Homo-oligomer: A and B are copies of this chain.
Amino acid sequence: MDDFEKVHGYLRGRGLRRTDARRSIVDGALRADGHYTADELLEKLRASGERVSRASVYRTLALLVEGGFVETREFRRGQTMFEPVLGRHHHDHLICTGCGAIVEFENDEIERLQEETARKHGFRLERHSLRLYGRCATCLSA
């Protein structure tokens, strides 16, 4: 079962319907590599000939986030970015404050310490958001 089947299975299980708009938005949202805003996704879909509304893009992205297929990131204030995570490795982000470049990284030790910290405070950890801001090598040498 591929990712798309999995998502549509999830939606069906919740009594939601398989429509053209939904299908193309899910497709675009999962297929995109990297991060995108709701508006960027809308533009991309329209550019490839899909006829969907902005409202449906927001509504469908919300469903995908709820289902855990897509995650939101707030790299910059007031602009939610989305990123597909289904079948991909969990990772966090380094953001360059100079050029805006975004680098993904994984660090199991940090993950472990987060778990430990949550437990120590009586929390059952569900998810986390870790962003490191700084200057990238290119900006530093410029």
Q: Which residues of A contact B (CB under 8 A)?
A: 72, 74, 77-78, 80, 94, 96-97, 103, 105, 107, 109-110, 113-114, 117-118, 121-137, 140
Q: Is there an interface contact between B117 and A136, defined as CB atoms closer than 8 Å?
A: no
Known: A107-B117, A129-B129, A130-B130. 5 other contacts (CB 8 A): A74-B74, A110-B114, A123-B135, A125-B134, A128-B130
Q: Pick the most buried of A80, A123, A129, A131: most chain B CB atoms within 10 A of its CB.
A: A123
Separation of A113 and B114 alpha carbons in the complex (Å): 12
Separation of A97 and B77 alpha carbons in the complex (Å): 21
Nearest chain B CB to A101's CB is how many angstroms away?
9
Q: Is there an interface contact between B129 and A124, defined as CB atoms closer than 8 Å?
A: no
Known: A77-B72, A105-B117. A94 touches B110 (CB 8 A): no
Number of copies: 2
Determine which of B110, B117, B121, B129 lies in contact with A113 in the assembled complex, contact meaning CB atoms within 8 Å. Answer: B110
Q: Is there an interface contact between A123 and B110, defined as CB atoms closer than 8 Å?
A: no
Q: Is there an interface contact between A133 and B124, defined as CB atoms closer than 8 Å?
A: no
Determine which of B72, B105, B135, B137 lies in contact with A126 in the assembled complex, contact meaning CB atoms within 8 Å. Answer: B135
Q: Pick the most buried of A72, A78, A94, A109: most chain B CB atoms within 10 A of its CB.
A: A94
